[in-house]
Amino acid sequence: MKILLDTADIDFIKKANDTYVIDGVTTNPSILSKQKIHYIDVLQEIRSILGDKKTLHAQVINQDAEQIIKEAEFLHTTFQGNIYVKIPVIPEGYKAMKYLTERNIKVTATAVFTPQQALMAAKAGASYVAPYVNRIDNISGNGVNVVADIVTIFQTYQLQTQVLAASFKNTEQIQKICLAGTQAVTVNEDVFSKLFCHPLTDWSVNTFTEDWQKTYGQKIMSDFSI
């Protein structure tokens, strides 16, 4: 199970990468546009934090296949390492996916809302498909079920494409799509912080400390000689 950060916040990425086990970062034009510096500098900085092995997913802007290919080749060449080019599942996007994957440029198919879109992206050679779980819920769909259906279809036909589920508002959605068999999730800072926290954990740890200090004061275990 891979956990990626859906952000371009450099400070957050540094802290998360240093403290926790993360597998990469996903970005999109909206995320990059919120930063104060040029998008190339942002992506280069993210790459330097992640190293070459962890995945970096960067999205094209154009909606014409020829221009998508041009942007994808630029991203692939500029940022090196384990880079995936995010391409929306629009007709021109599928066309570009076929061309790029035949030339060993790795693709993440994004803005997926149906299992059929995911299947067509897999047929076009995409390494990942990114269904938008909460956005599906917001249009009276069921994002978890969509992810589960995609996983089932891929397993049934032994497709190598992996599911990188995106767009979450809470950890319950993540738990359910994990149980459905998704291979990866990408989450924003707010949801990510809730994956490893619980108030009773904090209470338990504080209780241990208080009980220890009642007997031993501020000494720690290594202060005692055998």
Q: Which two tokens stand for residue 5?
A: 């950060």
User: Among 106, 140, 135, which residue's Cα sits nearest to residue 121?
Assistant: 106
Dist. CA 35–CA 42, nearest whole Å: 8
How far apart (Å, rounded) are the C-alpha atoms in residues 84 and 64? 19
Catalytic residue among 14, 15, 34, 86: 86
CB count in 10 Å sphere of residue 134: 15
Query: Burial level of 158, CB count in 10 A (0-12/13-18/19+)?
Result: exposed
Enter the tokens of residue 18: 């240093």
CB-CB neighbours of 155 under 10 Å: 10
Distance from the Cα of residue 29 to its chain's centroid: 15
| Local structure of residue 222 (DSSP, 8 states) | G
Question: Which residues face 85 on adjacent strands?
Answer: 58, 107
C-beta separation of 159 from 183 below 8 A: no
Q: Is 36 among the residues known to form the active site?
A: no
Positions marked catalytic: 86
